[in-house]
Chains A and B, each alone.
Chain A
Amino acid sequence: MRSKAMWPARMGLAIAVFVPLAGQVVGSTPLSQDEAESTPDVYMVRAERLVVRPGQVRENASVLVRDGRIVQVGGADLALPEGATEVRGAVVCASYIDPWSALGVDSGALADTNLVGSARTADGLDLYTGDHLRDEALRAGVTLARLQAGWQGQIGGLGAVVRLDPQLDVAEEAVVTDSADLAMSIGLSVDQGSQFVQGPDGSFRIISGDRAIDVFDRVSAVDKVVSNLETGRAYRKSQLEYEHKFAEWQKAIEKKTEELEKDFKKAKKDRDKDVEKAKEKGKEHKDKSYKEDRKPKQPKPDPDKAVLAQVAEGELPLVIELHRAGEIRNLLDATKDFSRVRMILAGATEAGPMAGELASRGIPVIVWPSLRGTNAADEFQGSDLSLAATLRDAGVNVLLGSGGRDATASRDLPLLAELAIGHGLSRDDAFHALTLGAARAFGVADRVGTIELGKDADLLVLDGMPLESGSHIQYVFCGGRLAVSPN
């Protein structure tokens, strides 16, 4: 599931020194002084306030960053290792994660409407361009993003969590997980681009690109989600049945073998006789057949169905972008029997009235606090900036994302969070959404989202509390690399 090479790129000599350490538990093999001196990647970050995790603040703390990770967290008196760079600030906290971003996804992959379940966004990254966009996002404190190809498609394939480090041109290094989720969408009125179509008479005509989205299309889109889940469940069932049958068969074979071996000598004699007889008659000898000879048939492996099976069994989150109240209602009703599915709604513009049910079913919502005019596309007409607060007040796990369409929007995620705060979401809840909440939802909370021993060093140093107006980000660490510093 997880990509193996997750270590940030190093510069110069450090590559030779540290890459062989990748995979080892940092801390159990402390670096020698010589190694520490040769690396630019050892930092002691000291702050008056350390936001360990949302709602938990430690006064006068120090965080030692080495080789991409947080290797020590202590008080102000934590000794400065030789060769380490010291960084001081008022506040240190985890950096922001955009759980719904398009930054770094190749535009073709982003616009693809015909993706399948096993298509990986990690294969559709475009990490060689758009450095300035990643720089802008880093300066805003966003160091990680869940990227999703095929946002317009009914299936968008596997999403990836990616580190937004312009130095990481190799996808394997930038990708934290290549299977964060499977994405689907319902009822998006999107422009699929006009195309020329050749008619039977040879003439060309232009087909308008707008996908017709009427109420029947939307009902059928919900049905498709359900049938996909059923397909996944059936696939898993057939796999399990096969495994069971195969195990049974193996047992039966063993048993029969044992049975036959008992009378092996007699059986051999009988067989030799039979072979002889057949020879005399000029016939071909046929060995006795046993019912145990029949091996259970393996179902045809299908990678797409395998992904759907993971989703149906709750091994992989299912992100569904949808907006209208009717569709959300239909989806919630239609998926009642799939208790294992870990659904995450994206957008969910009109989910307010269903907040209670979303809370009781434990379905997180990625809210996109966007400023839309009254000419917005139909599905966004019910747009309300207080949605995040409404959902949170009802107990829904609220995440905040930048919409997954526009690569430049991730930079403004903190502004979107401030908009949500200005419309009733508490600052703590907004910070949780941007850090630990997003990390948990996409299965990377063991790596990022808090400032704890062993976690990746994705952190911010600010002159005030995060998401407070008037606070400025001074330093940004992205996977242990100092990506932003004042001036």
Chain B
Amino acid sequence: MMLSALLVAMAATLPGDLEGPQPVDSTGTPVEAKAIAPARATVFKAAKIYVGDGTVIENGSIVVQDGVITQVGAKVETPKGATVVEHDGAISPGLIALHSNEGAGGELLDSTREVMPEAEARHAFAPHHSDYRRARQAGITSLVLAPSSANLIGGQSAVVKTAGGKVVKPSAHLAVSVSSDALNFNRFPTSYAGAMKELNDRFSEPEGAVARAVSGALPVLVDVNDRAEIGRALGFVKKFQLKGALYGSYWAEDLAEPIKESGMAVIATPFDVGDGERQMRSIVALQKVGVRIGFGLDAPARHPHSLRLGAAMCVRAGMPADAARKALTGDAAIIAGIPGRIGRLARGLDADIVLWSGDPVALSSAVEGVYIDGKHVFGGEK
């Protein structure tokens, strides 16, 4: 399995423009659009539309054509012959889980080597796995498949859709781990000192994906656990002037200012019922000083609703609800590196739409309908 995936990886040629709108499948082959006849437009109408950038439209409409949003607003004319979906609750963009493992099994970790910058998580994408159905049911329409933090440089993450099999960004981040997870009894490195030496060596004479990270073209995703590790990570990204996000938020509270100065975003570690208040306080403090926040998930070990649980727990701890909604959608798309494709309900973006019974950050709100690229993938309305 692993070997064949590697062979495919070597054989595959990546499309030149990684940011381009052309969808590719897990092997990098462009997915042909199956447009036969021009599709009828669909109009979604709701009392409340959470755009994803913090703004709210009351009694608004969203027009979708060929899987793309063409119009959004309070005064939008319904095109002739359009299918109209009247929803009596709220509508938001599809949620984005920033660090997850759906359907990937053990494929996101090659435990034999500690540094593999060219390994690509998209090869672990198994779009028909039942994990993706669970994710859709929770309103998650895109997620970042991230290499395991057990390797020093685990490889490149991929942004994938939870339906339709699309890899929307094949090389989203370079996953780097300065956490104790990367220290191993059986192989190098076994200490922080060893880990930092190796990382410094690799980034001082960069090649391939590491070179792209150093040039700023490829954001890094730096796994951290405790306070000292956050400090080490900040020193590391400053030294090489890296962009990206820290993954890990337990101990970030006291370091909110330095994190803000580093320009790094923070992906919150998945939340669980009963988690200590420190974790919520950290996110609230980071958000307050202006650090961009997103939420990690790490499904399937976590339930997909854990994503919203994290947002709800942070709101209870004092995070403004609109900031929490942004962290699940618009800001998450920025951290994922494709704000021009997903995360907001705006003209030209993918029609990834969730119909809720109420506010998306309230756990009492039900997911009543999910559309990905304009296609109905879950819920009652079609």
Q: Is B273 an interface residue (CB 8 A)?
A: yes
Nearest-neighbor residue (CB-CB) of A423 within chain B:
B366
Which listed residue, A415, A422, A467, A468, touches B273 by the CB 8 Å rule?
A: A415
Docked pose: A234 CA to B302 CA in angstroms: 47
Q: How far is the CB of A373 from chain B (nearest CB, A)?
A: 4
B301 touches A375 (CB 8 A): yes
B301 touches A408 (CB 8 A): no
Q: What A residues does B148 contact at CB under 8 A?
A: none
B362 touches A371 (CB 8 A): no
- B11-52 near A? 1/0 per residue, CB < 8 Å: 000000000000000000000000000000000000000000
Q: Is B202 an interface residue (CB 8 A)?
A: no
B300 touches A374 (CB 8 A): yes
Q: What A residues does B276 contact at CB under 8 A?
A: 408
Q: How far is the CB of A466 from chain B (nearest CB, A)?
A: 11
Q: How far is the CB of A380 from chain B (nearest CB, A)?
A: 11
Q: How far is the CB of B8 from chain A (nearest CB, A)?
A: 26
Docked pose: A423 CA to B131 CA in angstroms: 19
Q: Is B274 an interface residue (CB 8 A)?
A: yes
- A463-487 near B? 1/0 per residue, CB < 8 Å: 0000111100000000000000000
Q: Is A462 an interface residue (CB 8 A)?
A: no
Nearest-neighbor residue (CB-CB) of A469 within chain B:
B362
Residues A325-376 near B (CB distance < 8 A)? 370-375
Q: Is A152 an interface residue (CB 8 A)?
A: no
Which of B54-62, B218-226, B282-290, B304-312 makes up part of the contact surface? Answer: B304-312
Q: How far is the CB of B281 from chain A (nearest CB, A)?
A: 12
Which listed residue, B134, B277, B357, touches A136 by the CB 8 Å rule?
A: B277
A418 touches B300 (CB 8 A): no
Nearest-neighbor residue (CB-CB) of A467 within chain B:
B364
If A415-B312, A423-B366, A469-B358 touch, does A373 touch B305 (CB 8 Å cutoff)? no
B305 touches A418 (CB 8 A): no
Nearest-neighbor residue (CB-CB) of A102 within chain B:
B274
Q: What B residues does A140 contact at CB under 8 A?
A: 316
Interface of A is mostly: loop
Which listed residue, B131, B134, B273, B277, touches A416 by the CB 8 Å rule?
A: B273
B364 touches A421 (CB 8 A): yes
If A408-B276, A422-B366, A424-B366 touch, does A415 touch B309 (CB 8 Å cutoff)? yes
Docked pose: A308 CA to B357 CA in angstroms: 47
Docked pose: A385 CA to B299 CA in angstroms: 16
- A279-298 near B? 1/0 per residue, CB < 8 Å: 00000000000000000000
A469 touches B364 (CB 8 A): yes
Q: Is A191 an interface residue (CB 8 A)?
A: no
Docked pose: A467 CA to B302 CA in angstroms: 24
B301 touches A373 (CB 8 A): yes
Which listed residue, B275, B357, B362, touches A408 by the CB 8 Å rule?
A: B275
Q: Is A248 an interface residue (CB 8 A)?
A: no
A373 touches B302 (CB 8 A): yes
If A408-B276, A469-B365 touch, does A371 touch B303 (CB 8 Å cutoff)? yes
Q: What A residues does B316 contact at CB under 8 A?
A: 140, 415
Nearest-neighbor residue (CB-CB) of A420 within chain B:
B364
Q: How far is the CB of A133 from chain B (nearest CB, A)?
A: 9
A406 touches B274 (CB 8 A): yes
- B285-329 near A? 1/0 per residue, CB < 8 Å: 000000000000001111101100100110010000100000000
Chain A residue total in the interface (Cβ 8 A)? 29
Q: What A residues does B305 contact at CB under 8 A?
A: 371, 385, 419
Q: Is B254 an interface residue (CB 8 A)?
A: no
Q: Is B363 an interface residue (CB 8 A)?
A: yes
Nearest-neighbor residue (CB-CB) of B276 within chain A:
A408
Q: How far is the CB of A422 from chain B (nearest CB, A)?
A: 5
Residues A394-416 near B (CB distance < 8 A)? 402, 406-409, 411-412, 415-416
Docked pose: A424 CA to B368 CA in angstroms: 11
Docked pose: A421 CA to B365 CA in angstroms: 7
Nearest-neighbor residue (CB-CB) of A416 within chain B:
B273
Docked pose: A424 CA to B367 CA in angstroms: 11
Residues B359-375 near A (CB distance < 8 A)? 359, 361-366
Which listed residue, A370, A374, A422, touches B364 by the CB 8 Å rule?
A: A422
Q: Is A427 an interface residue (CB 8 A)?
A: yes
Q: Is B88 an interface residue (CB 8 A)?
A: no
Q: How far is the CB of B207 from chain A (nearest CB, A)?
A: 37
Q: Is B86 an interface residue (CB 8 A)?
A: no
Docked pose: A402 CA to B131 CA in angstroms: 25
Q: What B residues does A418 contact at CB under 8 A?
A: 312, 362-364
B362 touches A470 (CB 8 A): yes
Q: How far is the CB of B369 from chain A (nearest CB, A)?
A: 14
A373 touches B359 (CB 8 A): no
Q: What A residues does B364 contact at CB under 8 A?
A: 418-419, 421-422, 427, 467-469
Q: What B residues does A402 contact at CB under 8 A?
A: 273-274
Most buried by B among A136, A371, A375, A467: A371
- B135-162 near A? 1/0 per residue, CB < 8 Å: 0000000000000000000000000000
Q: What A residues does B300 contact at CB under 8 A?
A: 373-375
> Which 7 residue pairs across A and B have the least CB separation, nearest first?
A469-B362, A371-B303, A408-B274, A418-B363, A421-B364, A409-B274, A418-B364
A–B Cβ pairs within 8 angstroms, 29 of them: A140-B316, A371-B302, A371-B303, A371-B306, A373-B299, A373-B303, A374-B300, A375-B301, A385-B305, A402-B273, A406-B273, A406-B274, A408-B274, A415-B312, A416-B273, A418-B312, A418-B363, A419-B309, A419-B364, A421-B363, A421-B364, A422-B364, A424-B366, A427-B364, A467-B364, A468-B364, A469-B361, A469-B362, A470-B321
Which residues of B does A touch, CB under 8 Å? 131, 134, 272-277, 299-303, 305-306, 309, 312-313, 316, 321, 357-359, 361-366
